[in-house]
Amino acid sequence: METKDLLEDNKIQEIIDLLRSDMSAEQMIEALDDYHENDIAEAYESLETEDRQRLFGILGAELLSEIFPYIEDVGEYLTEITPEQAADVLENMDADDAVDALEDIDDEEQREKLIELMDEDASADVRLINSYDEDEIGSMMTTNFIVIEEDFSVKQAMRSLISQSQDNDNINTIYVVDKEQKYCGAIELRDLILARADTPLADIISHSYPSVQADASISDSIEMLKDYAEDSIPVLNPNDEIIGVITAQDIIEAVDDEMGEDYAKLAGLTAEEDLNESLLESIKKRIPWLLLLLGLGLLTSSVIGIFEGVVASVAVVVVFQSLILDMAGNVGTQSLAVTIRVLMDEEISGVEKAKFVLKEMRVGGTNGLILGLLAFVFVAVYLHGFKAYVWYAAFSVSGIVGFSLFVAMIVSSFIGTIIPIFFHKIKVDPAVASGPLITTVNDLVAVVTYYGLAGLLLVGRL
C-alpha cells in the first residue's frame, strides 16, 4: 500500500506542476488528457486561489465542468471566480451535479444569482430538481438522458440518439415514450446497435423496465432501486412523463448516505461527520442526544434512589449493578440494530413482526441463560475468593446477579425490538427515537429487578 500511495501522490504532484506551468492553453489541455478528472480535481484543490482564477481562462468552463463534480466542497471554488464564469461552469455540468454544487454555496442570494445567470435550459433543470424535498427521488435525479418515440424505426432511433447525445451523455439506456409522451419502456444501447435496420423497434423495447415516481421517498425506494440492479432508472412525474433518471452512481451515493445515516444514528449522532467538521458543528451534532440521555439518566438515578436503603445495608450488590446494566444495554443495542435493518430492508407483515419479536426474545433469552449461568458461577467464586464470603452467602448474591442478568437480557431484547417497530408504525424514524428510550426502559427494568430481588432476599440475611 505504501508504494501505491506514493505513486498516487506523485501523480497528483505532476498535475499540480502542470497546472502551475506556463504552457499554452492547447498544450495544457492535451497534457491533462492523460489524467483522470478525479485526480485533476484533487490537484486543483491544492492550488492557490490566484492559480485557479488564472486557470479559468486557460481551461475554460467546459473542461472545469468535468472536474468540478469530483470536488467535494465545490462552493468555495465557485465563489472565487466571477459569477458569470461560475454560471458558465454550472450550466455545462449535469443538472444534479450543478444542484449539488449550488447547495455548497451558503449565501442564498448568491446562489439565486448564479441560477439566473445560467442559460434557460440549465436553470430550468436546476429549479426542477430543487423543487423536490431532499428525501424525494426527484432531488437526486439528473436530466441527462435520451428519449425516443415508440413508433420510430431502428434507423430513426439511432439518428435521434446521435443528435441528442451532443447534450446528453447517459446513452447506455434509451427511454421510450408513447404518442402521449408517457413512458412505456427502455432500450439497451447494445440491443439498438446489434439490431438490424428492419427489426421493429418494439422487439427490442423492454416494457418491464422499472421506473420510479419523482415524489417517492428515497429511503422507501432505495431497496427497489438496488434490487432491480439496472444502470439507470427513469423518474416520472404524475403524468408518467420522464423528467429525469437515477444513475447507478446516484444509487451508490444514496446507499452510502442511507447507511451512513443509520450508522450515525446508532452511535447517537444526529448526522454523519467527517474529518473537516468544525468543532461547533461536531458539538451541535452530538449534544442533542447527550442532553436527552442526561435527562433520562437522571430519571434512572432517581429510581435507583428508591433503593438507597438496600444499598446501605447490602453494599456488595452495587458492585454488580454496572455489569447488569451494561449487558442489558449491549443486548438492547444488538436487537435494535437488527430490527432497524430489517425494517429498512424489507416489507414485513404484522404476523412476521410478531414472529420476529418472538425470535429476538428467544435469542436474548438463550444468550441470557448462558451468561446468567456464567455470572452465577464466576460472581460466587469472586465473592468467596476475594471478599471472603461463605459459599452460601456468595451463591445467594450471585444467584440474584445471574437471575437479574437473565431477566434483563430477555426484557432488553423485547424492548429493543418492540420500540423501533412501534416508532416505524407511527412513522417516526426508529433509528433516531429508539436508542435513548430503549436504554432507559432497560435500565429501569434491570434496576428494579436487581435491587428489588436483593431487597426481598438479601436485606437482613447476609
3-state secondary structure 44-59: HHHCCHHHHHHHHHHH
User: Measured between alpha carbons, how far is 305 from 300 in angstroms, rounded to an integer?
Assistant: 9
- Does 70 contact a second copy by CB under 8 A? yes
- Does 101 contact a second copy by CB under 8 A? no
- Does 267 contact a second copy by CB under 8 A? yes
- Does 135 contact a second copy by CB under 8 A? no
Closest distance of CB 83 from a second copy, Å: 27
Nearest to 329 by CA among 437, 423, 454, 420: 437
Residue 369: enclosing H or E segment and its boundaries? Answer: helix 350-386
- Does 124 contact a second copy by CB under 8 A? no
- Does 425 contact a second copy by CB under 8 A? no
Among 6, 23, 25, 193, binds a second copy (CB under 8 A): 193
The window from 73-81, 123-131, 303-311, 388-396 that contacts a second copy (CB under 8 A) reads 303-311
Of 328-367, binders to a second copy (CB under 8 A) are: 329-331, 333-334, 336-338, 341-342, 345-348, 352, 356, 359, 362-363, 366-367
The window from 20-28, 128-136, 174-182, 309-317 that contacts a second copy (CB under 8 A) reads 309-317
- Does 371 contact a second copy by CB under 8 A? yes
Question: Which residues have a Cβ under 8 Å from the Cβ of 444 and sit 6 or more positions away?
Answer: 299, 300, 303
Among 227, 238, 350, 426, binds a second copy (CB under 8 A): 227
Nearer to a second copy, 143 or 367 (CB): 367
User: Measured between alpha carbons, how far is 219 from 336 in angstroms, rounded to an integer?
Assistant: 18
The 10 Å CB-count burial string (b at 16+, else e) for 413-450 is bbbbbbbbbebbeeeeebbbbbbbbbbbbbbbbbbebb
Among 31, 47, 58, 323, binds a second copy (CB under 8 A): 323
Number of residues in contact with a second copy under rule CB under 8 A: 113
User: Measured between alpha carbons, how far is 244 from 80 in angstroms, rounded to an integer?
Assistant: 31
Other beta carbons within 10 angstroms of residue 142's beta carbon come to 24
Among 127, 159, 226, 461, binds a second copy (CB under 8 A): 226
- Does 202 contact a second copy by CB under 8 A? no
Instruction: Please report, in angstroms and rounded to a whole number, the separation of the first and last CA atoms in the chain.
Output: 62
